[in-house]
């Protein structure tokens, strides 16, 4: 499981993705779940990181889903038309 940080804004997006990518690639099995429950301070860059993680997971032949996406971030995903790319983890 990929654990997203408490804060994920523009300045922190690239370092966060650099940290998450090796964890994502090390996931065994065909499923990658991103836990966004810790996110408190974020902007649209958090969506960019989620989508980058999704892209990496799919390129590695894995599925991707998101656990505990904050409501505000889900609304932002809807506004940008990418909500369906971030399925809810079961």
Residue 22, in any domain of the structure: yes
pLDDT in tens, 40-54: 999 999 999 999 999
Domain hosting 76: range is 2-85
Instruction: Give the pLDDT score at 90.
Output: 82
CATH number (domain holding residue 71): 3.30.750.24
How confident is residue 65, by pLDDT bands cut at 50, 70 and 90? very high
How confident is residue 85, by pLDDT bands cut at 50, 70 and 90? very high
DSSP state of 88: B
Instruction: Give the pLDDT score at 26.
Output: 94
Helices (H), the chain: 10-26, 44-59, 71-80
Residue 55, in any domain of the structure: yes
Domain total of the chain:
1
Task: Return the closest-CA partner of residue 33 out of 20, 16, 14.
Answer: 20
Distance of alpha carbon 21 from alpha carbon 17, whole angstroms = 6
Residue 90, in any domain of the structure: no
């Amino acid at each position: 499981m990929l654990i997203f940080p408490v804060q994920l804004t523009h300045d922190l997006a690239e370092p966060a993705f650099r940290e998450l990518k090796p964890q994502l690639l090390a996931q065994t099995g065909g499923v990658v779940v991103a836990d966004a429950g810790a996110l408190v301070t974020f902007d649209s860059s958090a969506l960019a990181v989620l989508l980058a993680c999704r892209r990496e997971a799919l390129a590695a032949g894995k599925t991707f889903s998101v656990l505990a996406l904050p409501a505000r971030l889900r609304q932002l995903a809807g506004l940008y038309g990418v909500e369906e790319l971030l399925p809810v983890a079961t």
